[in-house]
Amino acid sequence: MANLFGKAANQLPPKIVVGILIIGALTVAGIAYYFTPKYTRVGYMPKQPIPFDHSLHVTGLGLDCRFCHSFVEKSGFSNIPTTQTCMSCHRMVKADSPKLAALRESWETGEPVRWVRVYQLPDYVYFDHSAHVNRGVSCFSCHGEVNLMRTVYHKTPLSMSWCLDCHRNPEYFLRPQEKVFDLGWQAPTGRQQIEMGKQLIEQGKINPSDNCSACHR
């Protein structure tokens, strides 16, 4: 019976402990890295039925966001443009481009184009675009440099901590109201931004809520 465990078995218990520690540390690191909206959402870039290019239409043609997303400053949600909005130009511009086939089909049948949604909050969160874009929060703070994107992708995590980071310290993000829709505008950096932000907060009496009931109602 004395030889059932060899000498090497003496090192087995510490080895098992170290092994479990390594596996445990890796699991924690993996969950911290992957089980967050920074991984699960950011970078989502679905294939759209029409390869619509924001950089061409916004930076190239100088269209304002509100030409298409026309209710973003009037209502809680930002509308995706109707087929008519596109057709006002595309009945004549590139009228028979194969890339626009789905658009023409929608125009003839009256069925909406089935754009794939990129940004989407859980249904238990209440969000309002007009409350933000009329108070000096630019599309840029939440959607990134859409004016340069050839295909829209999910830029920000939309997690609760991300919302609260701004609601608690809005001075890092606010900009003058007339620059909200101008995504090419260079915001000042560092102290200057904070000073401008503080001034805007004072002028507009901006006070984003961090009450649970503001977003979960």
**Shorter beta-carbon distance to ligand HEC: residue 7 or 117:** 117
The one-letter amino acid at 190: G
Q: Give the C-alpha separation, 10 to 48, whole Å.
A: 61
* Residue 142 near ligand HEC by CB under 6 A: yes
Q: Is 88 in the site for ligand HEC (CB under 6 A)?
A: yes
If the CB atoms of residues 13 and 98 are measured against ligand HEC, the closer one turns out to be 98
For residues 27 and 128, which CB has a smaller minimum distance to ligand HEC in the complex? 128
What's 137's DSSP letter? Answer: -
- Does residue 200 touch ligand HEC according to CB under 6 A? no
In sequence order, the 6+-apart residues with CB closer than 8 A to the CB of 22 are none
Torsion of CA 110, 115, 119, 123, to 10 degrees: 50
Does 163 participate in binding ligand HEC (rule CB under 6 A)? yes
Which residues of the shown chain bind another protein in the complex (CB under 8 A)? Answer: 15, 18-19, 22-23, 26, 30, 33-35, 37-47, 61-64, 66-67, 70-71, 76-77, 79-80, 82, 84-85, 87-89, 91-94, 112, 117, 120, 122-124, 153-154
Sole binder of ligand HEC in the list 50, 187, 194, 196 (CB under 6 A): 50
**Main-chain dihedrals φ then ψ at residue 15, nearest 5 degrees:** -65, -40
Closest Cα to residue 116, out of 53, 48, 41, 50? 48
Q: Quick one: which segment of 3-11, 13-21, 24-32, 62-70 binds ligand HEC (CB under 6 A)?
A: 62-70
Is the CB of residue 152 less than 8 Å from the CB of residue 54? yes
Rule CB under 6 A: which of 15-34 touch ligand HEC? Answer: none
